[in-house]
Chain A
Amino acid sequence: MDIKILGPGCANCHRLEERTHEAIAELGLDADVENVTDVAEIASYGIMKTPGLVVDDKVVVSGRVPTTREIAQLLAGG
């Protein structure tokens, strides 16, 4: 599984990254987590409000930080 955290390094981006790692650990997934900090690349995903969560090149969350449980559901469902 290929996971990207979109965000230039704001507080919310770090929180999303933390929770994503928690969710991955909870589910015991084998996943690569990559931070995308370049604004042009972030914008090319079509999100206008950071942070964003991209799973296998598909935007699943934009502009908010979901709870760890919600992220786990998104990862398990996707």
Chain B
Amino acid sequence: MSVHTAPAHPAVRRWGSLVAAAALWLVLYRLNLPFWDWLIYDALGLSADSAAGSALHFFGYDVVKITLLLIGIIFLVTLLRSFMSLERTRALLGGRREGVGNVMAAGLGVVTPFCSCSAVPAFIGFVSAGVPIGVTMSFLIASPLVNEIAIGLLLGMFGIGPTLLYVAAGLTIAIVAGWALGRMNAQRWVEPFVFETRLRGEIVDSTAGLTWDDRIEMSREEVVTILRKIWPYLLVGIGLGAIIHGWVPTGFFTTYANADNPLGVVVAVLLGVPLYSNAAGVMPLVQSLYGAGLPMGTLLAFMMSVVALSLPEMILLRRVLKPQLIAAFIAVVATGIVVVGYLFNLIL
């Protein structure tokens, strides 16, 4: 009997290394809490009741936890999304009427891979294919608002209840806001060149002909790209969270921003609109503010206004939208977020 080891089948190697990576992820995730307990409370001898001890513990534990969550979530989401494309979404939306179209656009906004840097070509691509402006806006609102990173982090930090509320609220805002903008006859506020854009050549579907290895490599690169982009936000967010956790007395915020305070949500949204960060940077802050007693509706409203309305995206969109439509866009979305915030504070 000849003894030779056959070279591992590519499929075996591919799925084998994925399973190994998943196992390693799980072990690290499980070891995170005992490790920081040991390091801060035993090795450094800090008390869990002291401000410095609890703040350091919060910081270390959260940095590792959120980084691990992000790696897992971004990888899986990119892998799944590699089966969806803007081209396919546009084909699904082309010729839809408002109403049904807004609902579909919001749903597709969640699952279609999209980054705000492509907002302009996507806008032109949709409109020149005959997708109504309001429907296109539903897509553009849902895409950053109901964001996969936010969904994953909410799930990891607050559980299924708040996550479902967030998704439902985000979709509702995108549907209603897009529909309302459509009703305002928004075409007149779109730069005329958009309607004159003629497509040349054949359309290439961005996901055509991808192999599993391509998809896995794309997902791995996406993890690295996003982490590289957001780590400063992440550290600042968790750092602020740790300071609140350690030094701000419980009840401090609730004096000023409890659920009965009629202005709480409005203030949260007004603070959030000019702030630009992403879900990964806001979530640690939201978590520690929640621990400090702020109501969930106010916090979700704050988070949504930070991620949904960003100055860089507005500047990009200015290329295709007139200032009136940008102003209407901000006003409609901000109003929607405020309403949702009050609603959550009422029912939660």
Q: How far is the CA of A26 from the CA of B225 in the complex (A)?
A: 25
Partner of A46, one of B200, B217, B225: B200
Q: Which of B87, B113, B117, B205 has the most CB of A within 10 A?
A: B117
* Interfacial residues of chain A within 1-60, with CB under 8 A of chain B in the complex: 8, 10-12, 39-40, 42-50, 57-60
Contact A48 B90 (CB under 8 A): yes
Contact A60 B204 (CB under 8 A): yes
Q: How far is the CA of A39 from the CA of B321 in the complex (A)?
A: 13
Q: Which of A12, A44, A49 has the most CB of B within 10 A?
A: A49
Partner of B217, one of A57, A58, A59, A67: A67
Partner of B201, one of A8, A40, A45: A45
Contact B225 A43 (CB under 8 A): no
* Interfacial residues of chain A within 49-78, with CB under 8 A of chain B in the complex: 49-50, 57-67, 70
Contact A11 B124 (CB under 8 A): no
Contact A44 B197 (CB under 8 A): yes
Contact A63 B124 (CB under 8 A): no
- Residue B330 at the A interface, CB < 8 A? no
The smallest C-beta distance from B82 to any residue of chain A, in angstroms, reads 9
Q: Which of A44, A46, A60 has the most CB of B within 10 A?
A: A46
A48-B118 contact, Cβ under 8 Å, with A59-B204, A60-B204: yes
- Residue B260 at the A interface, CB < 8 A? no
Contact B201 A49 (CB under 8 A): no
Contact B204 A43 (CB under 8 A): no
- Residue B125 at the A interface, CB < 8 A? yes
Which residues of chain A have C-beta atoms less than 8 A from B87's C-beta?
48
A48-B125 contact, Cβ under 8 Å, with A59-B201, A63-B206, A64-B206: yes
Partner of B121, one of A50, A60, A67: A50
Which residues of chain A have C-beta atoms less than 8 A from B90's C-beta?
48
* Interfacial residues of chain B within 245-291, with CB under 8 A of chain A in the complex: none
Contact B122 A49 (CB under 8 A): yes
Q: How far is the CA of A69 from the CA of B41 in the complex (A)?
A: 50
Partner of A43, one of B114, B197, B221: B197
* Interfacial residues of chain B within 68-103, with CB under 8 A of chain A in the complex: 85-87, 90
Q: How far is the CA of A50 from the CA of B113 in the complex (A)?
A: 12
Q: Which of B204, B205, B221 has the most CB of A within 10 A?
A: B204
Q: Across the interface, name the chain B residue whose C-beta is closest to A52.
A: B204
9 closest A-B pairs by beta carbon, nearest first, are: A63-B206, A48-B125, A43-B124, A46-B199, A48-B86, A10-B117, A39-B120, A62-B206, A48-B122
Chain B residues within 8 Å of A, Cβ to Cβ: 85-87, 90, 113-115, 117-118, 120-122, 124-126, 128, 193, 197-207, 214, 217-218, 221, 225, 229, 316, 319-320
Chain A residues within 8 Å of B, Cβ to Cβ: 8, 10-12, 39-40, 42-50, 57-67, 70
Q: List 10 A-B contacts (CB under 8 A).
A: A8-B120, A40-B193, A40-B197, A43-B125, A44-B199, A46-B200, A46-B203, A47-B121, A47-B125, A48-B125
